[in-house]
Amino acid sequence: MTGKKTKISCQNCGQTNYYPENPGSKAVVCGHCHHPLPRPGEVIEINQVQAANLINKSSLPVLVDFYSNSCGPCMIMAPVVERLAQRRAGELMVVKVDVDRNPELAAQMGITSVPTLVVLHKNVERGRISGAISEMDLALWVARIA
């Protein structure tokens, strides 16, 4: 084990933690609330309470993918967003919100179409885009604003 750690924010409380590079079979939990942490680079689905915690408390920028399972462009963007999350692990939290299951959150965020990607940091929106875009364009957009 090299001791290298990657920054990750807890989806339960928003606290930023350091995830060990190779935790083995050990469960990695938040140092604040003891909730299990996702692996760095993993895209996690969140609800309204978790979204508020991440958006308000995470020291990392948060990319929120608002999507619907009945949306073709959303399904096209899903693997693109997953690859971006893996490449930017430790620099950016990537989460997804199903607008059909979380209509209040979608309305609160002003989401009128899907897919919509929103980058937020410390409760400030840094940018948003709607519709399917290329992997290169997404990477450049996120690099510019996150």
Residues with active-site annotation: 71, 74
Q: What is the DSSP letter of 23?
A: -
- Which of these, 134, 128, 130, 132, lies nearest to 146 by C-alpha position? 128
CA distance 64 to 80: 13
Q: How many CB atoms lie within 10 A of CB 102?
A: 19
CA distance 14 to 9: 6
CA distance 101 to 68: 9
Name, in order, each residue with C-beta under 8 angstroms of 53's C-beta and a sequence gap of 6 or more: 10, 11, 12, 13, 14
